[in-house]
Chain A
């Protein structure tokens, strides 16, 4: 799904502008990471796309069609979002029920529902937990159920809105692995990952860095990540490995280029 923001401004109070005249385009079938510190407005972008919030001014185009209150429901059918808190989005009383929730809303027939639940629970490795209730699942498992629920809608756009920020390292790894495998499937789905961890943006096609409601950096990971000054000014912390490269660049030593190259490589394979 192609997403286009044209001069979008959003605020709750006029004195505290969340998004400031924001314009950008996300191409169909790509993975984009939107990063920024807490309160930089990155989650607002997700809520605007999914239509939970309305821009104060400006327009949002989805597949070149203006998003309005009238076509909102129809547009929503083509996208899914995974939120931050695993507990606050688990609607069903079992894994199966929860994956089915969205399908039931979309009037999918029962046989088709069963087929999709089976298919997508397997895709996120939760097929053995279908009858379990949420109290018996870890945070990472609950988030995987949420992903299965979104995938089951077979939508064109999937948004991860800080989906790992409340998880332990194991859960975070599970979710990142799932996102990576979704990306590598190359099935034409558009993925947006909203996060404040630079590490999680490494495998995106493109990174947008947000600060004060504006885009301050825009490019591929290898373009964006070394821009230490701008990242730090945006309240983000540069990955240790990268800041090491920056430090090493300033001095001379044996086989400098090889070592810098090796560090760079190891960051991406971590």
Chain B
């Protein structure tokens, strides 16, 4: 159940944890903007960003696993965008040509292998790596016209531009996803609330409500995940099997999950609103703060180093 709630606050009391939440919010924002203004295919800058991220992650002392968890959800997306670039980008030099001779037999074999893989996907450890190997072998295999008439013959031309851009796109998305976890892993929801509130202050008095909403939402994510799991089990006890059934059954199954979730969440929200009101919370009103935000030397250094990197990128682009 815990593996669902990725990016939840993880306590280590590192330098990054002790940093001012405002610094962390601002630097996360700047870092992401920076990632997108790196000139295309410039691996030097990408490397600098990656290095910066790695140093930050090491400083947090949070297990690397916590950061990598979120990648799981985008592996196939990344693979797809890479293949897409390789196939359709014809910039640069010709790297290699793959001549495919499709026959009924070799296409058939490939399909059977793919289907077997798909069916066994949950029983194989490190499935993704196996999948990659099979993919490469499959592409090679289709070159040989195994038995029978060649139905289709075509060339796949791979250019350096495609490979480079593909790698560039992948590394950008990877860095983006991994680094986005830094903020929530190292900042308590309450601190995040304080930081956001302080940063949003210039935009109006009521922005503190938004900050409170975000922090409450973060606070309740683990609770809601636990709840979802209980509902799943309760419905499974009534014979719901999420792995089978036609589309029509599937919809019914999802409804049986969503309705209790909504009902429980609304009840929870109403209770929480009562509790907050009873404890004197008035949305948008002035509040004192237990945590004093301390903008110290480490914040200055961290923020300056990001600004420095981005400035160099901008100067490079302008020139």
Binding site for B on A (CB under 8 A): 47, 50, 52, 73, 76-77, 80-81, 83, 85, 87-94, 96-97, 100-110, 113-114, 117, 131, 133-135, 149-150, 153
A76 (CB) vs chain B CBs: closest residue: B280
- 1/0 per residue, CB under 8 A from A, across B272-314: the answer is 1011111111100111111110000000000000000000000
A117 (CB) vs chain B CBs: closest residue: B290
Residues of A within 8 A of B268 (CB): 85, 87-88
- The answer to whether B288 touches A91 (Cβ under 8 A) is no
- The answer to whether B290 touches A50 (Cβ under 8 A) is no
If A88-B268, A105-B280, A105-B282 touch, does A110 touch B287 (CB 8 Å cutoff)? no
- The answer to whether B279 touches A114 (Cβ under 8 A) is no
Residues of A within 8 A of B291 (CB): 97
- The answer to whether B190 touches A135 (Cβ under 8 A) is no
- The answer to whether B279 touches A113 (Cβ under 8 A) is no
Q: Is B9 in contact with chain A by the CB < 8 A criterion? A: yes
Set A94, A117, A153: member contacting B188, Cβ < 8 A: A94
- The answer to whether B215 touches A104 (Cβ under 8 A) is no
Residues of A within 8 A of B219 (CB): 90-93, 134
A101 to B278, CA, bound (A): 11
A108 to B279, CA, bound (A): 13
- Number of residue pairs across A and B with beta carbons under 8 Å? 95
Residues of B within 8 A of A47 (CB): 274
Binding site for A on B (CB under 8 A): 9, 11, 188-191, 215-216, 218-219, 222-223, 267-268, 271-272, 274-282, 285-292
- The answer to whether A85 touches B290 (Cβ under 8 A) is no
A87 to B219, CA, bound (A): 11
Can you list 25 residue pairs at the A/B interface with Cβ under 8 Å? A47-B274, A52-B274, A81-B278, A83-B274, A85-B268, A88-B268, A88-B275, A91-B219, A91-B272, A93-B188, A93-B189, A93-B215, A94-B190, A101-B281, A102-B280, A104-B288, A104-B290, A105-B280, A105-B281, A107-B286, A109-B288, A110-B289, A114-B290, A117-B290, A150-B279
The 8 closest A-B pairs by CB, nearest first: A88-B271, A89-B275, A105-B280, A100-B290, A102-B279, A93-B189, A97-B190, A93-B188
A133 to B272, CA, bound (A): 17
Residues of A within 8 A of B278 (CB): 50, 52, 76, 80-81
Most chain B Cβ neighbours within 10 Å, of A88, A131, A135: A88
- The answer to whether A91 touches B275 (Cβ under 8 A) is yes
- The answer to whether B292 touches A110 (Cβ under 8 A) is yes
A52 to B109, CA, bound (A): 69
7 new A-B contacts at CB < 8 Å, known A47-B274, A93-B191, A109-B288: A73-B280, A83-B275, A93-B189, A93-B215, A96-B290, A102-B280, A105-B281
If A83-B274, A102-B280 touch, does A133 touch B9 (CB 8 Å cutoff)? yes
Residues of A within 8 A of B279 (CB): 80, 91, 101-102, 105, 149-150, 153
If A76-B280, A93-B189, A94-B188 touch, does A104 touch B287 (CB 8 Å cutoff)? yes
A94 to B191, CA, bound (A): 11
Q: How far is the CB of B174 from chain A (nearest CB, A)?
A: 29
A100 (CB) vs chain B CBs: closest residue: B290
Q: How far is the CB of A101 from chain B (nearest CB, A)?
A: 6
Q: How far is the CB of B281 from chain A (nearest CB, A)?
A: 5
Residues of A within 8 A of B218 (CB): 93
A85 to B274, CA, bound (A): 12
If A88-B268, A97-B290, A110-B288 touch, does A52 touch B9 (CB 8 Å cutoff)? no
A90 to B279, CA, bound (A): 11
Most chain A Cβ neighbours within 10 Å, of B219, B277, B290: B290
B286 (CB) vs chain A CBs: closest residue: A107
A109 to B287, CA, bound (A): 10
A108 to B290, CA, bound (A): 9
Residues of B within 8 A of A92 (CB): 190, 219
B292 (CB) vs chain A CBs: closest residue: A110
Set B222, B277, B281: member contacting A52, Cβ < 8 A: B277
Set A88, A90, A107, A133: member contacting B287, Cβ < 8 A: A107
If A91-B216, A97-B188, A101-B279 touch, does A83 touch B289 (CB 8 Å cutoff)? no
Residues of A within 8 A of B11 (CB): 131
